[in-house]
Structure 1
Amino acid sequence: MNKWDKLACGVEQIGTMEQANLKELEAVIAIARRGTFRAAAIDLGMSTTALSHTISRLEAALGVRLFNRTTRSVSLTDAGRLFVQQVAPSLQDLYAALDSVRSPSGTIRINAAPFAARAIISPLVLQFLRRYPDMNVDIVTEGKMVDIVKDGFDLGVRVAGLVPSDMIALSLGRPQRHAVVGSPKYFEQHGKPIVPPDLLNHRCIRVRLPDGSLFRWRFEKDGETLQIDVRGPITLDEASIVRTAVLESTGVGYTMEQEVLPDIKAGRLVRVLEDWTPPYPGLCLYYPGRRNLSAGIRAFLELAREFSRRAAE
């Protein structure tokens, strides 16, 4: 019997394994996802030594090696890669089916843009944790888009236009808007732009996108659209820092409206070109279309729908 036949036999036997052995399968998935025994052991709440023994037992039971291991690296063998491809979806469905009949518990992993995480943390995430004290929420923020399934996330939060077409999207309510702002001191010294091209004569706070390119400021009015490649003294790779630079009169900033509304109302910042920044579709919570969602995810989605209804009122 070759290694592929042994692997096929091993996979067929999974259905008859005792419940404790499901942890061995979970260990394989964790190592494949995290890339190291150390990181996977932390996720699983066990020691690296115990995890190594767990994998060795499973490999002995299957009769094939799942990982190539050295002192410096770990990688899936061909058999291990096939094993993960076949077992991971079934294991995920199995745990989801078990969770669906229990009260919400466990961990929900969410990937979100930084500003999106700030928008949902208090009204949605913290409310969810108060309602379901046995739940945990793990939020990872990053500007670049990721494959939430491949990277082990349950949910994503992005602007509607960025949600992948193969995902189920749930609107989180109000549309979004950008705002062009500067400090009163800056505009006293340099004047205010009247139309977007005037920004080429101003010191602007530039933002670098995750792919390394510079973000071009986007405007729209009466069917006319413009993208301005602004110039300025500072370039940032995190849009949330723009507010700080603008408050210090460094230049004009282009940021999410909700980031600066309190400053505008308090007179710390002055808004310009407001008629050139119309609303656009807002944030969406999205997730893959699975047959069996865990009780925790179903509860989170239900609360998200409540949040969306309140935000739209």
Structure 2
Amino acid sequence: MSKIGATDLASFLAIANHKNFRRAAAEIGCTPSALSHALRTLEERLNLRLFNRTTRSVSLTEVGERLYSRVGPAFRDIEDAIDDLNSFRDQPVGTLRINVARAAAQMELLPWVSGFLAEHPDANIELGIDNAIVDMVAEGYDAGIRFGETLAQDMIAISLGPRQRTAIVASPAFFEKHPRPRSPKQLKDLPCIRFRFEDGRIYAWEFARGGIELKVEIDGPLTVNDQELGISAALDGIGLAFAFESQVEGLLREGRLIRVLADWCPYYPGFYLYYPSRRQMPAVLRAFIEYIGRGRPA
């Protein structure tokens, strides 16, 4: 068997991390076809199949899982050792990969990112927008941004901002045709804009007041998987939308949206930057954490 090099294993790890040839190819800077050819060559040299591949999915075989469990930690140790050299520089270099829900990116993260990049011109930040809760380490991310209540217990978390409160909103034109609900249960009789999670579940709107907590299964003519799109649909009069105050405060001031059931809308823990405990933290992540620790950007 001919010698297997670091480049071969790096290609294997990229595919194993992403389970997607296009994203893996983008990470290592080649075309998907070139990466597919490299994998076939590696499997032929090993005389073993490392992945099960169909037109819709990529998954590790048992042999591939075994190789991944041995090679993955070794490569992370190498990356940590190289990244540790950043401590000898005045400015961190390299790419910080952050997995973030779209709403969190728009509502909280971008001001932090812009301020950090202005101070650290040699650093890069790659945002992976994903509303699903992903295995951050397996997907090759350094950190993630989510609500505090959704974080795994084994993660280190740093607050990015204050609590977030929900808001139920619709356009003035909508309320010319429909009554304003006085209780959450009345939403069942009104057209609402539903939100579907990445796993296929439809979100049941959550309410709380005076120790009473309610979940309401709403219905309506439109279902989306993006909150901003739902707000746009509310502006067009399609239905009531579930949003966060910070997303709609400007539209409420301008009178383009009207809020209802405010006394039933609870607060949630704000957004947090979270990351796994590691022996050696990437220098660019360490610098980003230090930047956050100095307080909210202007």
Listed as ranges, the matches of 1:50-61 within 5 Å are none
Q: Greater CA radius of gyration, 1 or 2? A: 1
1:49 CA drift (Å) = 5.4
1:121 CA drift (Å) = 4.0
Letter aligned with residue 91 of structure 1: F
The 1:75–1:204 alpha-carbon spacing in structure 2 relative to 1, beyond 3 Å, is: closer
Larger helix percent:
1
Q: Distance in 2 between matches of 1:200 and 1:70?
A: 45
Paired residue for 1:310?
Answer: 296
Paired residue for 1:88?
Answer: 72
Paired residue for 1:7?
Answer: none
Q: How many residues are treated as equivalent by the alignment?
A: 290
Listed as ranges, the matches of 1:79-158 within 5 Å are 80-102=64-86, 103=89, 104-158=92-146
1:119 CA drift (Å) = 2.3
Q: Distance in 1 between matches of 2:194 and 2:22?
A: 39
Paired residue for 1:229?
Answer: 217
Paired residue for 1:294?
Answer: 282
The 1:272–1:84 alpha-carbon spacing in structure 2 relative to 1, beyond 3 Å, is: same
- What runs of 5+ residues in structure 2 fail to find an aligned partner? none
1:157 CA drift (Å) = 0.8
Match of 2:248 among 245, 256, 260: 260
> Contact 1:66/1:81 (CA < 8 Å) preserved in 2?
no
Q: Partner of 1:199: helix, strand, or coil?
A: helix
The 1:204–1:291 alpha-carbon spacing in structure 2 relative to 1, beyond 3 Å, is: same
> Contact 1:66/1:77 (CA < 8 Å) preserved in 2?
no
Q: Distance in 2 between matches of 1:224 and 1:134?
A: 51
Q: Distance in 2 between matches of 1:212 and 1:72?
A: 22
1:97 CA drift (Å) = 2.6
Paired residue for 2:232?
Answer: 244
Q: Distance in 1 between matches of 2:291 and 2:138?
A: 25
1:237 CA drift (Å) = 2.4
Q: Partner of 2:206: helix, strand, or coil?
A: strand
Q: Partner of 2:107: helix, strand, or coil?
A: helix
Q: Distance in 1 between matches of 2:197 and 2:35?
A: 42
Letter aligned with residue 97 of structure 1: A
The 1:83–1:269 alpha-carbon spacing in structure 2 relative to 1, beyond 3 Å, is: same
Q: Partner of 1:297: helix, strand, or coil?
A: helix
1:193 to 2:181 alignment: yes
The 1:59–1:303 alpha-carbon spacing in structure 2 relative to 1, beyond 3 Å, is: farther
Q: Distance in 2 between matches of 1:112 and 1:301?
A: 16
TM norm structure 2: 0.84
Paired residue for 1:45?
Answer: 29
Q: Distance in 2 between matches of 1:213 and 1:121?
A: 26
1:27 CA drift (Å) = 3.1
1:228 CA drift (Å) = 1.4
Q: Partner of 1:94: helix, strand, or coil?
A: helix
- What runs of 5+ residues in structure 1 fail to find an aligned partner? 4-9, 15-20
The 1:85–1:247 alpha-carbon spacing in structure 2 relative to 1, beyond 3 Å, is: same
The 1:71–1:78 alpha-carbon spacing in structure 2 relative to 1, beyond 3 Å, is: closer
More moved, 244-253 vs 120-129: 120-129
More moved, 283-292 vs 97-106: 97-106
> Contact 1:172/1:304 (CA < 8 Å) preserved in 2?
yes
> Contact 2:51/2:64 (CA < 8 Å) preserved in 1?
no
More moved, 113-122 vs 74-83: 74-83
Match of 2:206 among 200, 213, 218: 218
Q: Deviations over 1:44-91 (max 9, x none)?
A: 22466599679969997xxx5565589989876655533321221122
Q: Deviations over 1:166-200 (max 9, x none)?
A: 21111112001110111122223323212212222
Letter aligned with residue 30 of structure 1: A
Match of 1:163 among 151, 155, 159: 151
Q: Partner of 1:177: helix, strand, or coil?
A: strand
1:93 CA drift (Å) = 2.2
Q: Deviations over 1:208-236 (max 9, x none)?
A: 22222321111101101111112222222
